[in-house]
Structure 1
């Protein structure tokens, strides 16, 4: 799969922008959908989106099971709604 890369401003060196693979992803729940610009992370096992997007799609965020995710700054427990994907 190929992605177009988008130049993102580098405040430390304006002549050398960061290049990132962004694409538009359509999130669907029932008859509701939302298109969002997303950063591709080909090594990620899951994708996380802001809870406001889930609410727009009619997902009951507060009722979702809580899972722990860890990044470089440590673990953070978040409410989740597991969704399937299709291409």
Structure 2
């Protein structure tokens, strides 16, 4: 019978800092998604039209949102519940 190694819990300040990073990226992410959805999101109509968020611009803004949001969520423990090791079967090393 094998035992799973126990890892110490992270320090409270580290957990709070990781959650703060995830929350700090949220407003800009929502702003990007509003732009991709066609909302001016703080721009005047002329400024929004000049920016050219249509066609590939929508794809760029959406991909940009996910590329910046994913590391922030991963750092806050978004993957903590998933195990990265395969459980051993009986009789196999």
Greater C-alpha Rg: 2
More helix per residue: 2
Q: Which has the higher contact order (CA 8 A, sep 6+)?
A: 2
Same fold per superposition (TM over 0.5)? no
Q: TM-score, length-normalised on structure 1?
A: 0.20
**TM-score for the superposition, normalised by structure 2:** 0.19
Hey, which of these two has a bigger chunk of strand by percent? 1
